[in-house]
Amino acid sequence: MKKLEFYVPSAQRESVLEALFAAGAGQIGHYDRCCWFTEGTGQFRPLAGSRPHLGQQDQTHQEPESKVELVFDAALQQPIIAALKAAHPYETPAYQILNVER
Q: What is the pLDDT of residue 28?
A: 95
For residues 40 and 65, the answer to whether their CB atoms sit within 8 Å is yes
Q: What is the pLDDT of residue 102?
A: 77
- Among candidate residues 6, 27, 1, 25, the one with its CA nearest the CA of residue 99: 1
What one-character DSSP code corresponds to residue 11?
A: G
Nearest 5°: phi and psi at 34?
A: -85, 135
Which pTM does this prediction carry?
A: 0.90
In whole angstroms, give the CA distance from residue 24 to residue 4.
12
Q: What is the pLDDT of residue 98?
A: 97
**Domains along the chain?**
2-41+63-96 (3.30.70.120)
- Which amino acid is located at 44 in the chain? F
In whole angstroms, give the CA distance from residue 2 to residue 22.
17
Q: 10-residue block means of pLDDT along the chain (102 residues)?
A: 97 98 97 98 94 92 97 97 97 95 82
